[in-house]
Structures are given as C-alpha cells and as structure tokens.
Amino acid sequence: MDRRTALKMGLLTSPVAISNPLKNLYKEKDTTMNSATNGLRHSISRWCYSKIEINELINWCKELGIGSIELLDKEEYDIVKAAGLDCAIVNGSSLGLEKGFCNPIYHEKLLKDYTELIPQLAKDGLKTIITFSGNREGISDERGLGNCAKGLRPIVELAAQHNIMVVMELLNSLVDHKDYMCDKTEWGVSLVDALGMDNFRLLYDIYHMQIMEGNVVATIKKYYPYFAHYHTGGVPGRNEINDSQELNYPFIMKSIAETGYTGYIGQEFIPTRENSFDSLKEAIRICS
C-alpha cells in the first residue's frame, strides 16, 4: 500500500512558539554528536501499519521507546494521546495529495478544511499539521509557487494565532506521485521564503528526495533550518532502511543530529517482513 492508496481508502484524510517556532526542534549545533547518542525522537506513520489495530500499535511504540504515531485524524489521535503518546503530525485536508495549493480551484475547500482543523488541533494540544502542493495539472512551477503562497497565507496566519506549525511535504514525482509540484527541495525552500512566516516549514522525506535529487546529507546540511520534520524509507522500494537498500541511514541520522535537530524522525517505510514489528524494531536501532 502506498500513500495514495491509503488516502483513497480513507486511512488518511484530511510547533512551537511563533516567535521562534523551531526552538524545540533545534538546539545549538554540536558536531561532537554521534549516531549512538543522537538525541533524536522516534515516530511512525500510521498508514504504513494500517493493518495493525491502533491499541496494539501503541503497545509496540511503548515497547520500542517510540514517542509518536503520526498522520492521524482526531478519532485516532485522541486514543494515542490518551495512551501518553504524541501525534507529531496531524492529517490535513480531505483533498489529500493530488488536489493542493498550487491550483487555486481548490483554495476555497482547503481554506474551509484548515480553518476547521487548526483550532481543534490547538485545543487538543497538538502542534503540527501537514499540507501538500498538489499536482501541477498543467500549471508552471513558478505560477504554482505563487498560487501556493497565496492559498497558504491565511491558513498559516491562522495557525500562527494558535501556535501551530504548518508543514508541506516534499514528494517524488518520478515513481510515486506523478505530476506532484513540491518535488524539489529548492522549490520548497522558495515557497518558505515567499511566505516568510516562522510557522511554515518543509517535511523533508529522505526516500522521496533521494529519488528526485540525491545528495541527501549535503541538502540537509545546507537547508536544515527549512525542515521541521523528517521521514525515512529505503530506496528503491520504500521498504526497510537496512542494508537491503542504498541509503546509509546511520550516517544520515548522525548528520541530522549534528544540525542540532531534536525533533521526531518519522519512520515511513513499508515493512516486507511478515512480522512488521521486527522491521520497526530494526529501524529504531538503525536511527538511534
């Protein structure tokens, strides 16, 4: 199952003080940190474990020291919070991945959805909500960036009033999400700069950006102030992040930690083992 399939099945729908929204995500840079003591926190994406009942998944998290289950709707994040876990990122608009801010025909619906979601999110004590650029649908990247900035501005302003971080995810358009606009780091960085608001940042998905542009560690080191969250996944295949794939995750995690980041690393790979708990356990060890 991929993210688009999960969206169609209804598994996916739909921080930080505003004066310095990344203060809880980054501490003073310390280049002496290593992968054994990297200070990173662990989260898992719900859709990757959609067959696991939520309370069983909570028990897995507690056993493995995972602090968050992310990409949830209210009906599940209430359960997760009641169990003492966090939801690092809450689902956004029900329009999903393909119908996003780069196309103004969706702005009215997006504004309605986020205007309802953000105050509820703040009321429930959560801090971050996800957004997507959507597909190009014939719109140029330059025009799409302007459309995104225009559509996002009232939403990000509302989020600022509620101490909420809004993130847009970088996704690949070569393999998984054909025509998706926010498919390059520099385009996403330009959007952050265009909005110029402290509570709008990017979700840097390592799997997706390895496919689109490679050079993962250098990109993280150059642009880390623009990143409020990270996702993992093995390349190729989006499966386990061990030595069955091409990315060196211990080194990547070490590099992220050296930027001073202390937020969550979201495990967003699709387990291939029959016992997916073992794959998750292995990933936490690799990233710790």
Q: What is the CATH number of the domain that holds 228?
A: 3.20.20.150
Number of domains in the chain: 1
| Res 18 pLDDT > 90 | no
Q: What is the dihedral of CA 52, 58, 60, 63, to 10 degrees?
A: -170
Calculate mean pLDDT across residues 183-192: 98
Calculate mean pLDDT across residues 249-261: 97
> Residues of the chain with pLDDT > 90: what percent?
86
The DSSP element (H or E) to which 209 belongs, if any, is: helix 206-212
Terminal Cα-to-Cα distance of the chain (whole angstroms): 27
Domain extent for 123 = 3-287
pLDDT score, position 22 = 65
pLDDT score, position 39 = 83
| Res 79 pLDDT > 80 | yes
| Res 56 pLDDT > 70 | yes
Calculate mean pLDDT across residues 211-226: 98
Q: What is the pairing mode between strands 264-267 and 227-231?
A: parallel
pLDDT score, position 30 = 47
Which long-range contacts link 57-60 to residues 24+ away (Cβ below 8 Å)?
A: 58/83, 58/85, 60/277, 60/280
Q: Please state, rounded to an integer, the average pLDDT across all residues of the chain.
A: 91
Calculate mean pLDDT across residues 149-164: 98
pLDDT score, position 81 = 98
pLDDT score, position 26 = 74
- Backbone angles phi and psi of 231, in degrees to 5: -120, 150
pLDDT band at 112 (very low <50, low <70, confident <90, very high): very high
User: How far, in whole angstroms, is CA 256 from its chain's centroid?
Assistant: 15
Q: By three-state DSSP, how is residue 32 classified?
A: coil
Q: Which two tokens stand for residue 135?
A: 């597909």
